[in-house]
Amino acid sequence: MKQSISSDIIRGYNDTIILFFLREAPSYGYEISKKIRQLSEEKYVIKETTLYSAFTRMEKNGYIESYPYQDPDTGKRRTYYRITDAGREYYSSRCREWALTKEVIERFIADEERV
Amino acid sequence: MKQSISSDIIRGYNDTIILFFLREAPSYGYEISKKIRQLSEEKYVIKETTLYSAFTRMEKNGYIESYPYQDPDTGKRRTYYRITDAGREYYSSRCREWALTKEVIERFIADEERV
DNA sequence: TATCGTACTACGGCTGTCGTAGTAAATATA
DNA sequence: TATATTTACTACGACAGCCGTAGTACGATA
């Protein structure tokens, strides 16, 4: 019974998590999902449907752009995504919001319970 | 254009915030909403419908119990809520989850953007 | 008399997450 | 060579929680 992260708290932060990786380089669904697992040390595993619907939403919002890409080695066709300037701004604003949110939520978290 | 907290990130933490106050003493909707505003210094103002639906949900889940109460001074009738043992356990588990979640999310928040 | 603060309830919409299912090609294993 | 697993998605619909709108009712204050 490992403690894990509820989807309600991560809700709305998936976009930020995805953009965190796209800031550094364009990528695609499967790779991003693996990177999330790795960086979180298996503590957070994004669901496929959640991930791909986030792509759709963010492209609609202009935070990312998709383009087809064929891997020169394997020949695999994938949909790659790159971050836009609007996406970078959005990421930054979410980071600032996070700082504020964290500070506020912690006022409602009892010290003794913090483990 | 003050930076404020989005409902998506607070989502699912409203229950915890409410229980934070009920742990100390029974209370009712209006009072709790005021306390949230105060403790967050206006950074988070819970919506009425959100608050009352949280009460309903938590009572259904057995985390709180309601009882009618008439104020001896004003004569005002209110629905008071008190926390149950299950509610205390739930609060504690949410606090532990928070510690984990915070740690994980921060891996996806770039240092430079932290302000 | 009217407005404001208090203390709610009802209803329905919206968004993001997730379960289920299916497709298809490449790679690994037996 | 046959089968399983991994990779890389798409479609559909359910669900939960938040929130906008609206309305009720009562007391205090202007």
What 3-state DSSP class applies to A51?
Answer: helix
CA quadruple B88, B93, B95, B96: dihedral, nearest 10: 150
Distance in Å, residue B26 CA to nucleotide D30 C1' = 34
**Is the CB of A65 less than 7 A from some atom of nucleic acid strand D?**
no
Contact A113 B96 (CB under 8 A): yes
Closest nucleotide to A77 by C1' from CA: D8
* H/E segment holding residue B106: helix B85-106
| Tokens, residue B33 | 């909403």
The pTM is what?
0.91
The CATH architecture of the domain made up of B7-106 is: Orthogonal Bundle (1.10)
| Pairs of residues, one from chain A and one from chain B, whose beta carbons lie less than 8 Å apart | 111
Q: pLDDT (tens digit, 9 = 90+) per residue, A13-72?
A: 999 999 999 999 999 999 999 999 999 999 999 999 999 999 999 999 999 999 999 887
Q: Give pLDDT, residue B114.
A: 47
Domain ranges within chain B, ordered by starting residue: 7-106
pLDDT at A8: 78
- Give the pLDDT score at B73: 76
Q: What are B16-59's pLDDT values in tens digits?
A: 999 999 999 999 999 999 999 999 999 999 999 999 999 999 99
